[in-house]
């Protein structure tokens, strides 16, 4: 279930971030993967419908979404978007789909940088910035090959 949504701009700054109120009782916050701790999740958070409404205020038809495994994010958001650049596709697994490289491994291999190494848990902003950096790196390589 979706607990947190983070959207960054092309310069890496956070444009939108919200915890999402669960429709069911949460029995495990799975902090290692969600980045959300039980103590973070007390208060009046937005419903999924409210988050969807917020996102449609600035994600338009021509907005390009960038991420890793975007189909999972869009499924959790219960949204459809046609302009997506997914690092799973741009940096395919050597055995092809349905295999995919973990974002952490991909960033280490391509950029030589360690991410998702925080004992506090997953950081969705770090993920988003890593995807942006991967695509910038890919574009840099393509630009240099074409020159």
pLDDT band at 139 (very low <50, low <70, confident <90, very high): confident
Lowest mean pLDDT among 7-21, 76-90, 106-120: 106-120
Task: Convert 51-64 to b/e letters by CB count within 10 Å (16 or more is b).
Answer: bbeebeeebeeeee
State the residue range of the domain holding 66. Answer: 4-146
- Domain with residue 70: its CATH number is 3.30.420.10
What is this structure's pTM?
Answer: 0.83
In DSSP terms, 8 is beta-bridged to: 14
Banded model confidence at residue 147, pLDDT cuts 50, 70, 90: very low
Q: What is the pLDDT of residues 62-91, one digit of tens each?
A: 999 999 999 999 999 999 999 999 999 999
Classify burial at 81, counting beta carbons within 10 Å of its beta carbon; exposed 0-12, middle 13-18, buried 19 or more: middle
How many distinct structural domains can be found in the chain? Answer: 1
């Amino acid at each position: 279930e979706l607990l947190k949504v983070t959207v960054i701009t092309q310069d890496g700054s956070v444009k939108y971030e919200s915890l999402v109120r669960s429709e069911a009782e949460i029995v495990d916050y799975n902090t290692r993967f969600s980045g959300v701790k039980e103590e973070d999740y007390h208060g009046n958070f937005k419903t999924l419908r409210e988050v969807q409404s917020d996102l449609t205020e600035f994600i338009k038809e021509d907005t390009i979404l960038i991420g890793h495994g975007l189909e999972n994010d869009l499924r959790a958001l219960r949204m459809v978007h046609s302009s997506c650049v997914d690092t799973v596709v741009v940096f395919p697994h050597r055995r092809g789909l349905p295999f995919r490289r973990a974002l952490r491994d991909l960033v280490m291999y391509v950029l030589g940088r360690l991410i998702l190494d925080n004992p506090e848990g997953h950081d969705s902003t770090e993920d988003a910035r890593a995807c942006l950096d991967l695509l910038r790196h890919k574009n840099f390589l393509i630009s240099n090959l074409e020159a």
